[in-house]
């Protein structure tokens, strides 16, 4: 049995080239700033970034050829815009001055962050920052107005895709349209709010609120509640693990409770008082 193997589900387009190089790297999550696994696909023509979505259930294994993989997780790579990962570094380092991209992405705790230069087209940095040139050096200074405009446009494009999607959400949306034909504006607002929730998963809590306000959802509590629920869930998991560890290493003896004696048992005990045990007749 092997635990060093991992089960991935890839789209054909990711594996269509025999010369594609796939690397799993650890990068900062743009929303939580915690360690998260990503996949970088490199070919001769371009490089792409994918986030690794993990589906995990207990008591699951995989049969791979003639071996058993005890790691029952499923990893599903999906494309992610590298600008989301660059944005926190821009806000942190480039709010007051312009810095070259290579220096922006220096992170001693996550050295693989330098690989983002391979998957990011430099010209797209103008969506988040102002360009400053000095000879052959190209530097960037963070621009919040540009960033919000980019995020707002992204939300509107995503909301259109949400409205066209297949499945329960789309059927529910179509049902609403049939029942309330005159409320298309509310439908569009709902789709836009769904897009906001999706995009906010890649933003800090503060920036998520700014985006909500820019989209016309001021003081949107759903973002903070959603983020808080994630934090509470992670905290609960950690507490559960610690609790299990304590129980495994330090057994706790619980005091035995007093046994309740029924009236029938008390009567039998009283009747038997003063009588000898049957085993006493066989003693010498």
pTM (predicted TM-score): 0.70
Domains of the chain: 7-142 (2.20.25.530)
Per-residue pLDDT of the chain (284 residues; tens, 9 = 90+): 555 678 788 887 787 766 788 999 999 999 999 999 999 999 888 899 999 998 888 888 888 788 888 888 888 999 999 999 999 999 999 999 999 999 999 999 999 999 999 999 889 999 999 999 988 999 999 999 999 999 999 999 999 988 776 555 554 555 555 555 555 667 788 899 999 999 999 999 999 999 999 999 876 555 555 555 555 555 554 444 444 444 444 344 444 444 555 555 555 555 555 555 555 544 55
**CA distances, 50 to each of 12, 76, 78, 112, 268 (Å):** 14, 9, 5, 14, 76
Only one residue has tokens 């049902």, namely 175
Taking the C-alpha atoms of residue 17 and residue 104, their distance in angstroms, rounded to an integer, is 32
pLDDT value at residue 186: 72
pLDDT value at residue 141: 97
- Inter-residue contact 98 to 130 (CB < 8 Å): yes
Q: Which run of H or E residues covers position 153?
A: helix 144-164
pLDDT value at residue 59: 81
Q: Which run of H or E residues covers position 54?
A: strand 47-55
pLDDT value at residue 74: 86
Taking the C-alpha atoms of residue 120 and residue 122, their distance in angstroms, rounded to an integer, is 6
Taking the C-alpha atoms of residue 116 and residue 237, their distance in angstroms, rounded to an integer, is 31
């Amino acid at each position: 049995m092997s635990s060093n193997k991992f089960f991935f589900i890839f789209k054909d387009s990711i594996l269509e080239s025999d010369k594609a190089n796939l690397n799993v790297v650890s990068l900062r999550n743009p929303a939580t700033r915690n360690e998260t696994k990503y996949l970088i696909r490199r070919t001769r023509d371009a490089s792409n970034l994918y986030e690794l979505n993990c589906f995990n259930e207990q008591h699951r294994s995989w049969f791979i050829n003639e071996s058993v993989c005890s790691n029952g997780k499923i990893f599903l790579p999906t494309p992610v815009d590298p600008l989301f990962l660059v944005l926190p570094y821009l806000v942190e380092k480039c709010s007051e001055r312009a810095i070259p991209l290579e220096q922006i992405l220096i992170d001693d705790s996550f050295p693989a962050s330098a690989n983002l230069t391979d998957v990011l087209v430099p010209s797209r940095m103008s969506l988040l920052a102002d360009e400053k040139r000095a000879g052959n050096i190209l530097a960037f200074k963070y621009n919040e107005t540009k960033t919000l405009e980019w995020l707002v446009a992204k939300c509107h494009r995503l909301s259109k895709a949400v409205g066209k999607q297949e499945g329960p959400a789309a059927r529910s949306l179509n049902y609403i349209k049939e029942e309330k034909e005159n409320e298309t504006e509310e439908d569009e607002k709902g789709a836009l709010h769904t897009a906001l929730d999706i995009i906010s998963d890649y933003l800090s809590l503060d920036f998520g609120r700014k985006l909500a306000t820019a989209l016309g959802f001021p003081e949107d509590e759903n973002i903070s509640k959603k983020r808080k629920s994630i934090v509470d869930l992670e905290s609960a998991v950690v507490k559960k693990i610690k609790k299990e560890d304590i129980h495994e290493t330090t057994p706790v003896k619980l005091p035995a409770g007093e046994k309740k004696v029924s009236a029938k048992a008390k009567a039998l005990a009283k009747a038997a008082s003063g009588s000898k045990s049957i085993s006493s007749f066989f003693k010498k």
